[in-house]
Amino acid sequence: MSTVSNPVLPGCYPDPSICRVGDDYYLVASTFEYLPGLPVMHSRDLVSWEQIGHVVDRPGQLDYTGIASSGGLYAPTIRYHDGQFWVVCTLVDQRDGSRGGNFLMTATDPAGPWSDPIWLESFGIDPSIFFDDDGRIWVHGTRLALEPRWHDQTEVWVRELDRETMQWVGPETVIWHGAVEGVVWSEAPHIYKVDGTYYLIAAEGGTEFHHAESVARADSVTGPYVGNKGNPVLTHRHLGRKHPVVGAGHADLVEAADGSWWAVLLAMRTYGGYHYPMGRETFLVPVVWEDGWPVFAPGVGMVPSEVEVPFAGEPTPGVVQGGASGTVPPADLRWTAVRALPTEVATPAGEGWDLPLRAATLADVEVPAFLGLRLQHPDADLVAQVAVDLAEGEEVGVAVRQSEKDHVRLAVTPEGDTLRARVVHRQRGVETVLGEAVVTGAGTLTFGVRARGVDLELLVGAGDATPVVVGTADATLLDSVATGGFLGLWLGVYGTSNGAPTHTVAHVAHVDYTPAT
């Protein structure tokens, strides 16, 4: 037996979905505007996880042009059937809805390569896929109700898919509107078949404080579905906003090889008041069956801080579980960029990167020269060493990113024969200087972001000089509670020419991410 601490995937790994193949478990999560998209995690025991690849990991698979923050890839589902892995997902373009939609990708190896997207003639979000015993394939998902009785009422639909043609077969059936009258955003539906009965689990209440998980069952995949009288079967909303974990929901079930049942789900750890700078994270809870219904976290009724897994061996948590420390080389699968792959905006160079500056800034809905890592710990340090010869109007530095409209950056710019550092907070599109200083000395610049809870310090030094704090920021002004959207914070290095043509390259010798706990 082994014990795993929750969350099992700290940092912004929301909307988890899981499947088992033999003794192996595979999990995917949402990535929104960041690429590579849809990380694929692997475990042999639900306790120790490692990342083995991404579903979207090569140019041309999906078009991210113009997709704003908190758009992009929403809520994937991963399943395995007849020698093949399937992922269904949604590409959300929040501009006018003219692009994007539901799609599926397949692979024989979950580490990849994955196929190009096969677009489905459906609309909405949070698609899932169910393979019945008779070989029939059923896709289901969520959309705004076509004939709503209240604001933000959604409906869950299901329809058969032909495996050979990837076309719909037969009519669509609406099977669920939520367990609670007047509930908003009944979403994240998954169908399972257990002992001949079909079960539908779905989140509802919105993916924030009122998030909850409900369950229904039926004798047919198309229903009618009857809800559990105890719905919602899992929620933290009754615990209040001061509880350290909020927003539990968006669950997916998996049966272990020993016959036990488990659920992965998202929730948020709060600190600094009702704020969650690390975003929506992946948690694990045990599930048992009583009277023909699943019971989440039996005897506890909420997401526990630790979970005992009887069949697990000695835990060996990897970097995706918060075990990261020190230099993050380019081959590390945690690296992300915005609307492009990291290797499309930079070139690996030893333990670091050669990062050509771009005209786009962090405020533009374009592809900036930004390489980032999820914030996975309330207390952590990011250190980047950068050598660059800047032209007038150019800047290089580090950033704490939420979106185009909301981020904090430490920007170093040339000013005559000196360099000036400024910490700038962009809040809802308006920029405020939080601190500035002249950078003294010569040679490689050492940048730092020091997170201590919600207190952020941004530092820089040149050559052998000890980096000094240029400005401080408040993470509670950057998380999704304050700004909207669905993301946690990213830390990273960036460079821009602020709209001018440029040939400048920032030589990033290395980037270190170190938990301070």
Q: Are 18 and 254 in contact (CB under 8 A)?
A: yes
The whole-angstrom separation of Cα 358 and Cα 370 is: 9
- Give strand pairing partners of 387: 507
Model pLDDT, residue 385: 98
The pLDDT tens digits for 310-321 are 999 888 888 999
pLDDT surpasses 70 at 179: yes
pLDDT surpasses 70 at 97: no
pLDDT surpasses 90 at 52: yes
Residue ranges of domains in the chain, CATH in brackets = 2-321 (2.115.10.20), 326-515 (2.60.120.200)
The pLDDT tens digits for 9-50 are 999 999 999 999 999 999 999 999 999 999 999 999 999 999
Which candidate, 368, 371, 345, places its Cα nearest to that of 493? 371
Model pLDDT, residue 435: 98
Residue 98: which pLDDT band, with cuts at 50, 70 and 90?
Answer: low
pLDDT surpasses 90 at 117: yes
Residue 517: which pLDDT band, with cuts at 50, 70 and 90?
Answer: confident
Length of the chain: 517
The whole-angstrom separation of Cα 339 and Cα 68 is: 9
* 167 burial type by CB count under 10 A (0-12 exposed, 13-18 middle, 19+ buried): exposed
Residue 441 has φ and ψ, to the nearest 5°, of 100, 180
Model pLDDT, residue 441: 84
The whole-angstrom separation of Cα 305 and Cα 503 is: 50
Residue 122: which pLDDT band, with cuts at 50, 70 and 90?
Answer: confident
Model pLDDT, residue 314: 87
The pLDDT tens digits for 269-290 are 999 999 999 999 999 999 999 9
The whole-angstrom separation of Cα 85 and Cα 76 is: 13
Catalytic residues: 15, 187
Q: In 3-state terms, what secondary structure has residue 387?
A: strand
